[in-house]
Structure 1
Amino acid sequence: MEQVNDIRSALPDPLEACVQVEVCQNPYSTLGKQPIKELVISLLKKHRRAYGDFLITEFEDPTLAEHVKSVAICDTELNRQDNQVIDLCRARLSVHVFQLQDEGAGSEELDDENLSAANHWILPAADFHGLWDNLIFDNNVKGDLIQYAATTLLFSDRKVDCNVISWNRVILLHGPPGTGKTSLCKALAQKLCIRLSDRYTYGQLIEINSHSLFSKWFSESGKLVMKMFQKIQELIDDQDALVCVLIDEVESLTAARKSSLNGTEPSDAIRVVNALLTQIDQIKKYPNVVILTTSNVTGAIDLAFVDRADIKQYIGPPSPLAIFKIYHSCLNELMRAGIITPVQQLLDMRALEVVRFIENDATRLSLRLRDIAIKSQGLSGRTLRKLPFLAHAMYIQNSTVTLEDFLSALTKVVERQFEERNSLEK
């Protein structure tokens, strides 16, 4: 066992488990990454200990104050199996310095049609900043995806023969609508670009609009697919770029393939889909590309595509524990914004477990939030994130509100959601 551990420790894995530190550099700063890294490491050693994720936005050091927007220790829960305190003086710190791009999304238009074939972002993008941290799941799906990317890069670096060991660089996230699949794909692309900022100068995210791939003149659709992947190929040819290709609602492609095979769609449709699958097979050989796909209707995806996915991860509705974490983060944000006032400490689920869910003055409101989370089971993550806004809009008349009154409003809006759902079903 010791020999195996020695071999693993010798592998130059850029995403390996250690203390991950993400440094957001000011957009106007021209200071090099290395001086910033050295100052950040010195800053963290002065803190000595960390008890989990935390964010620093104010700096005594004038150089950091001028050139750095924030320093974040992040994803500690993905790498630790217990509640041990992190010793920042002895820990191996992996510091990633990045600057956000604020240009927004560009658009690729279909020829002679007013339809968008794809959106693309230069990464890391301001549009996705903080998205990763706000995605909450019941299992360790985020950690699994990062480790998948690490193994993909390691095998490429070591030139593992893909004819002996096969991997396709394709991830498929499937499950009902509103569970965060597309957001997770975009957040993962952003996270990889930040974590690999020493390897790749920048990233590109290409989001393909599946519905627009099929022209009303099917004979033109094959040309469109080829043109799109020619553009993607140009991006991949730049070895300084990490290219993430996102195909949302991929079932719409494979459904068209099935219809063609059944004779209900023109034969051109199957040629378009086959062309798409062929292009995916061709670009997977490049080390700087990752293909991300989502599906709302798992049963509609045929095996030809499913077999290409290395990871087929189900993303379902959140459990009460995940719902509690979502509400917890929303309420903390409202307290930060001064809408819920005065600021009060809400215990997390781990702290409530320690006190065995016994109600007292310190735990009362946190336990009440837990009850609301249990009542909210069955709502999608997309809906849950809207409820704090709806609670204020419908049941609170003032610009500020106490935490207790807000929890009352949140209870009412949850009950209303289920009433509206029942009415729609009837």
Structure 2
Amino acid sequence: MIVIVGGGLAGLITARELSRAGHEVTLLEKRDKLGGLVAAETIGGVRVDIGAESYARRSQRVTDYLASLGLETLLPAGRSWIWDGAALPIPADSSLGIPANPSADDVASIIGDTTRAEEDLTLGPEVGSDADTLGDLVEARMGTAVRERLVRPIAGAIYSSDPSNLAINPQLKADFLAEGSLAKAVAKGLSGPAVASVVGGMFRLVDTLARQAQEAGAELLTSATVTSLGRAPAGQTTVTALVEGAERSFVASHTVLAADLASARSLLGHVMDLEPLTIPQGRPTTHVTLVLDAPELDAAPRGSGLLCVAGSSRAKALTHLSCKWPWLRDVTDRHIIRVSYALNEDMSAGQALADVNQLMGVALTEEVIAGSRTVRWGGALTPSTPELRAWADALEPPPSISIVGAWKAGTGISAVIPHALDTAAAILARLR
């Protein structure tokens, strides 16, 4: 038997791959639903993503895997904007706010004088080469204005963390070292929109993985909290869990930890010595999703949405989901908008609508609200700091234990999926 601890995206991928290869698989998820940060609810008559609503396109492998599951993908419609007391389009040729052309007019419209940003093209390649964080690299190459007015709101909205706490994406770092310029490194990686999604919603990925795993014989248990992990004879492990309040024990030929960092570290401490680690805390995040009867939004005044410069608005971002993802237009005439906050508190639909009015330049009243849902994620997204990356990379668990998930693989669906697939392949090779 293979036991998987955690029923988020990484755990479900591993369960699907291992069960379809003929192994007996039991997955234990402490919450009452699967999927983790990929989640959905029906709001105003429409089932819509309330968690992750897209994935980064930097790995073709992710899109290919989604296709292998029978899922169709699509690119976003509408341009993204930035808010700093006024709305301006995000530079067209950019990644995480880093411009590929620092002198472009749409860069100047946000940061003003581009002289410092343009220095990236003439600075020696050694400048920034020793940077550990995204914020440090941008500051060294392009200066404070690019970091504060472009990278901070964009990277912060995507990863719920300040760029000064984010490790540099390995591919971006490699391209920078090869090109000797951050702008040229960004240009090298540009290939159309940075993100894509699943037709019908990202939540369909969770539904499909769970269904295909169960069809292959996997047992997926929710409300199942793992309380201990131990060694067993013949290189096996024992897993003890409370499943709907009743204690159950499992003897596993292989155990996969797909749990959050705090839970995984606690369980690993039962079977190995661990180096000390202060767990980095993600920014608290609250999403308010609104379903609106509002013809005033038909023209999509902010395209697919906007990201806010710190201090310019109570909100950190707004996503016009029904503009961004065309499939939603086929299922509803209503507008679906998500307002995101760097807060861990309830925000009312009325408060969110007030922010919609400010950011989109409209004057909607609460009578247009056909449905709403507020979700508090707390600090659920652990920042991928250099310290965490070093700690995770140095882990050497017993051969019968593997680790998957964002804190090990790197932040984002585009990192989690390939890592989970590679881990599943390695487990299959070990168990042959």
Q: Normalising by the residue count of structure 2, what TM-score does the alignment of the two structures yield?
A: 0.23
Highest RCO, 1 vs 2 (Cα 8 Å, sep ≥ 6): 2
Q: Normalising by the residue count of structure 1, what TM-score does the alignment of the two structures yield?
A: 0.23
Q: Identify, as 1 or 2, the structure richer in strand.
A: 2
Q: Identify, as 1 or 2, the structure richer in helix.
A: 1
Bigger-Rg structure (1/2): 1
